[in-house]
Chain A
Amino acid sequence: MTAGRHEPSVYERIEAEENFQELRRRFRSWAFPMTAAFFAWYLLYVVLSGWARDFMGVKLFGNVNVALVLGLLQFVSTFWIAWAYSRYAERRLDPLAEEIRNGAEAERKSA
């Protein structure tokens, strides 16, 4: 610890506030599990590409096989997660972040 007892800084006060705790909880509870999910889903795909080639070669319609469909599904999931995150951020993160920012700004001006 470099810092001993000291007056809490403006950031430490904000960090301790409930609405900031809520913002952090909302961000992490979405971003962390989703990261784990797409990472696992991608690894599954790579592992299947290495070890399940017969399965990947099963033709679904015409020459379109499981490998191609799974690969395209990686695109679909990537686009979907990006879209879902931007919606979530706009609805659940941005307003709260703005509220905290405005609060800090008002406090700075009145100080």
Chain B
Amino acid sequence: MSHQTLSTLLFLVFVAATLGITFWASRNTKDAADFYAGGRSFSGVQNGLAIGGDYMSAASFLGIAGIIALSGYDGFLYSIGFLVAWLVALLLVAELMRNSGKYTMADVLAFRMSPRPVRTAAGVSTITVSIFYLLAQMVGAGALVGLLLGVTSPTGKALTIVGVGLLMVIYVVVGGMKGTTWVQIVKAVLLMTGAALVTLLVLGRYGFNVSGLLGAAATGSGKGDAFLIPGLKYGTAAQGLAGKIDLISLGLALVLGTAGLPHILIRFYTVPTAKEARKSVLWGIGIIGVFYLLTLVLGFGAAAMVGGKAIAGQDKAGNTAAPQLAEAVGRAVFGEVGGTILLAVIAAVAFATILAVVAGLTLASSSSFAHDLYAHVFKRGQVTEGEEILVARISAFVIGAVAIGLGILAQGQNVAFLVSLAFAVAASANLPAILYSLFWRRFNTAGAVSAIYGGLLSALILVVFSPVVSGSATSLFPDANFAWFPLSNPGIVSIPLGFLAGYVGARLSKEYNPAKYAEIEVRSLTGIGAEQAVRH
């Protein structure tokens, strides 16, 4: 049996198992709290695993391992930003949001503001961030199926994207948050197991001598000692000062973006209490931290055992480094069959990863559309729960269709930047609004609206006029040049602008509600009046 067949089979087993779980979960999905928040009945450990599942995207598994394999240390910079970011969520956001919100990010923002403008802004930014992230994953899925299963025709790739899109819609429409959370848990366990297995085999090959592995990686990469220090990918000598500032800009977006990602924020609502929310972030940090340590070994291992040339030959961005390593180390330890099996396993895990992440994103955006835009903005709160959930399900279909359509159109485009753009928007628009709402008495509607639109627009506009979109050979439009902003990552400018816009907007408006601030402050810190878990 070829690795393609085996990998497809394993993936189908994952799909069958998760669909089974989803339909099982749907029997217990009755009201809005079930659909949006999984009945708030997951334990901290379960939600911690699901946080890992939502967060460890294919971009971080294949992408970071690939960057490390090709550019060495710089990939590690990426994973450190992704990890440290969780402290913002742990210390400032998770528990307070769990105590004061209900289903979406906007619940917290609209708490003491005029609800319609704030929910509109929060809904727009939630859907924008989620669609960017979703699109990057969808295009990645198309590319991955080409690399791993040998499907190279555009039709084959398009069909893969349609398949991924349909599955994610089914998970969300049928299983709601309950089904989606279980998909994340299963995926997180599989991904951790797969990554740990390959890591152990790699370390075993080098006698658990890290220095030996590093030396072999530096040699295998063809780059020598430069491979083990920063500077091969970000802020290279050729990019000069702009490159180094770009590195800081990226780092800021990574660290400040996580606590503003809508699909991560709604995870805090799936547990019964703020204490469980804290526990789930602690577990999340543990799992994600260990995972990034594993990818470090995978990346260096791939450079050492597969070699930079062979990796870049398969995919210029190095996205297949982890699967290639799985094959190499499997063959070295268990022989030809072992290599085939291990490659198939890792490829199947990579697909499972994509599927779980896109489901989480679809849920976040359809929840926000139904709860924020439809129920509170269009209908001014005059809807039944049943109607609201129906709209959430319909919007999951629509978002799925949009993601499939855009995913097919964007085939072959370099859309990896959309992930860092999603982080930049989350850090520039959502985080200022959340932090001001929770901690600043004088904050108000005008402040929330200007923080969100200010952060969102500045990030988007700067990217449009950056080298990502035009003016260089790797741009989206390589033949045009309207890039006056020198950085690929807008964060270093757009994040302060988002905070500033929120501050100025709040100061310019006289409106604010001290009684409601007292309420959100007391509720967020003590848990008085917090939404309770559903008991069926």
Q: Which residues of A contact B (CB under 8 A)?
A: 1-3, 6, 8-9, 11-12, 14-15, 20, 23-24, 27, 31, 34-35, 38-39, 42-43, 45-47, 49-51, 53, 56-57, 61-65, 67-68, 71, 74-75, 78-79, 81-83, 85-86, 89, 94, 97, 100-101, 104-105
Instruction: Say yes or no for B211: interface residue by CB 8 A criterion.
Output: yes
Q: Are A38 and B84 in contact (CB under 8 A)?
A: yes
A9 to B132, CA, bound (A): 42
User: When each residue 219-230 of chain B gets 1 if its CB lies under 8 Å from chain A and 0 otherwise, what string results?
Assistant: 000000100111
Q: Which residue of A11, A62, A83 is within 8 Å of B214 (Cβ)?
A: A62
Interface core residue of A14, A65, A94 (most chain B CB under 10 Å)? A14
A11-B523, A86-B278, A94-B275 known; A3-B92 Cβ under 8 A: no
Q: Are A53 and B230 in contact (CB under 8 A)?
A: yes
Interface core residue of A34, A45, A51, A75 (most chain B CB under 10 Å)? A75
Instruction: Say yes or no for B235: interface residue by CB 8 A criterion.
Output: yes
Q: Are A75 and B83 in contact (CB under 8 A)?
A: yes
- Which chain B residue lies CB-closest to A71? B76
- Which chain B residue lies CB-closest to A19? B526
Q: Which residues of B contact A101 (CB under 8 A)?
A: 526-528
At the interface, is chain B mostly helix, strand, loop or mixed? helix
Q: Are B229 and A85 in contact (CB under 8 A)?
A: no
Q: Are B83 and A56 in contact (CB under 8 A)?
A: no
- Which chain A residue lies CB-closest to B84? A42
A15-B521, A74-B80, A100-B528 known; A63-B215 Cβ under 8 A: yes
| Minimum C-beta distance from A111 to chain B (A) | 14
| Minimum C-beta distance from A79 to chain B (A) | 6
- Which chain B residue lies CB-closest to A86? B282
Within 8 A of A (CB), among B78-108: 80-81, 83-84, 86-88, 90-92
A1-B510, A15-B521, A35-B88 known; A51-B211 Cβ under 8 A: no
Interface segment, one of B51-59, B244-252, B336-344, B363-371? B244-252
Instruction: Say yes or no for B156: interface residue by CB 8 A criterion.
Output: no
Q: Which residue of B90, B215, B275, B293 is within 8 Å of A75 (Cβ)?
A: B293
A71 to B209, CA, bound (A): 18
A51 to B229, CA, bound (A): 12
Q: Which residues of B contact A68 (CB under 8 A)?
A: 73, 76, 214, 228
Interface CB pairs A-B, < 8 A, 29: A1-B512, A3-B513, A8-B515, A11-B519, A11-B522, A14-B518, A15-B518, A20-B522, A24-B525, A34-B87, A35-B91, A35-B92, A38-B87, A49-B77, A50-B244, A53-B229, A53-B231, A57-B228, A62-B209, A62-B210, A62-B214, A71-B77, A74-B83, A74-B84, A79-B289, A82-B86, A82-B87, A86-B282, A105-B528
Q: Which residues of B contact A (CB under 8 A)?
A: 73, 76-77, 80-81, 83-84, 86-88, 90-92, 209-212, 214-215, 218, 225, 228-231, 234-235, 244, 247-248, 251, 255, 275, 278-279, 281-282, 285-286, 289, 292-293, 510-515, 518-519, 521-523, 525-528
| Minimum C-beta distance from A24 to chain B (A) | 6
Q: Which residues of A contact B514 (CB under 8 A)?
A: 1, 3, 12
Q: Which residues of A contact B214 (CB under 8 A)?
A: 62-64, 68
| Minimum C-beta distance from B95 to chain A (A) | 8
A11 to B523, CA, bound (A): 8
Interface core residue of B88, B279, B289 (most chain A CB under 10 Å)? B289
> Assuming A9-B519, A82-B281, A85-B91, what are 5 further A-B pairs, CB within 8 angstroms?
A3-B515, A11-B522, A42-B251, A57-B229, A71-B77
